[in-house]
């Protein structure tokens, strides 16, 4: 991150932290927030395999847009951030079991997940796209043009992208992968025709592999509101997070993160 952006982000932290930190006495009736304040840690659950939202760098450090936002959230509580990485499909069970306090991991807010957890957001809106090297896939004008057994696509296990293929493209030969890097290798090796994923992931791949010959097919067939998952039934924690998200957008912190990770501001609590 450039020095000027980093400085701006630190100033932002000071601005909203002063207004969001709550005393332990005021939290005596709020189980999750009181527990976080008592432990001095906000425990984040994330998959760390969907750059630039959440990933590991060469040194094994967890980085990404979602991680930076979680650090802002922890700073607003005046606690440290503790990161737990796990498979994407294990994130909501970990939240339900109390193993993590929050899930921020490029997670779409959909009705099925919302039955299990509360969601705040969206802090970003996305849609489905395909990363491919095959001209026939790249030029598809509608979903029905892809719905053929001759079309091979990969999607990450437990993702809405996998469900998208199963429901809307049932004839497609689907391969489930553990992470997007595995899908990139499959595309390069000719083992699959493309990867169906979310817009931020496609954008990142095009930027990270400029000489790989990848092209992207962007779809308007789906609306993917990306949100923060919280334990169900904790109204104060949910309310705090709603106000946190509104505040960091108002002071420009979301735009700072968007510019850093995507090269432009692409986020909004209104879902635009």
Are the CB atoms for 20 and 240 separated by under 8 Å? yes
* Predicted local confidence at residue 268, as pLDDT: 43
Tokens in use for 82?
């503790």
Q: How far apart are CA 262 and CA 269, in angstroms?
A: 17
- Beta-bridge partner residues of 175: 154
* Predicted local confidence at residue 139, as pLDDT: 77
Report the chain (272 residues): mean pLDDT per 10 consecutive residues. 50 52 50 93 95 90 96 96 96 97 95 95 85 83 81 90 89 91 89 88 82 75 84 94 94 87 56 41
Q: Would you mind telling me the total number of residues written for the chain in this entry?
A: 272
Are the CB atoms for 41 and 82 separated by under 8 Å? yes
Are the CB atoms for 240 and 37 separated by under 8 Å? no
Q: Which helix (H) or strand (E) holds 191?
A: none
* Predicted local confidence at residue 42, as pLDDT: 98
Tokens in use for 234?
């904790």
Tokens in use for 31?
């189980």
Q: How far apart are CA 226 and CA 113, in angstroms?
A: 12
Tokens in use for 266?
């692409």
Are the CB atoms for 34 and 28 separated by under 8 Å? yes
Number of Cβ atoms within 10 Å of the Cβ of 182: 17
* Predicted local confidence at residue 21, as pLDDT: 54
Q: How far apart are CA 195 and CA 90, in angstroms?
A: 22
- For residue 54, the SS3 value is strand
Are the CB atoms for 127 and 220 separated by under 8 Å? yes
Burial of residue 226 (number of CB atoms within 10 Å: 0-12, 13-18, 19+): buried
Show the domains of the chain with their CATH numbers: 3-125+226-262 (3.40.190.10), 128-218 (3.40.190.10)
* Predicted local confidence at residue 9, as pLDDT: 56
* Predicted local confidence at residue 94, as pLDDT: 98
* Predicted local confidence at residue 12, as pLDDT: 52
């Amino acid at each position: 991150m450039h020095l000027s952006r980093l400085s701006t982000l630190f100033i932002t932290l000071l601005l909203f932290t002063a207004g969001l930190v709550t005393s332990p006495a005021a939290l005596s009736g709020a189980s999750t927030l009181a527990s976080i304040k008592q432990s001095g840690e906000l425990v984040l659950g994330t998959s760390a395999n969907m750059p630039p939202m959440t990933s590991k760098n060469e040194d094994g450090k967890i980085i990404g847009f979602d991680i930076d936002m979680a650090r802002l959230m922890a700073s607003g509580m005046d606690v440290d951030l503790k990161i737990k990485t796990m498979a994407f499909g294990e994130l909501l069970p970990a939240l339900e079991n109390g193993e993590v306090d929050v899930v921020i991991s490029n997670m779409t807010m959909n009705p099925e997940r919302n039955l299990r957890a509360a969601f705040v957001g969206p802090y970003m809106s996305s849609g489905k796209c395909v990363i491919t090297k095959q001209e026939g896939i790249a030029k598809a004008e509608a979903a029905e043009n892809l719905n053929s057994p001759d079309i091979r696509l990969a999607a990450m296990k437990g993702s809405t992208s996998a469900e998208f293929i199963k429901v809307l493209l049932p004839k497609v030969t689907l391969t489930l992968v553990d992470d997007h890097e595995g899908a990139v290798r499959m595309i390069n090796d000719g083992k699959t025709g493309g990867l169906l994923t979310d817009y931020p992931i496609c954008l990142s791949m095009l930027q990270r592999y400029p000489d790989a010959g990848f092209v992207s097919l962007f779809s308007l067939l789906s609306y993917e509101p990306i949100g923060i998952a919280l334990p169900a039934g904790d109204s104060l924690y949910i309310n705090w997070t709603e106000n946190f998200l509104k505040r960091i957008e108002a002071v420009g912190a979301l735009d700072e993160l968007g510019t850093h990770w995507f090269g432009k501001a692409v986020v909004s609590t209104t879902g635009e």
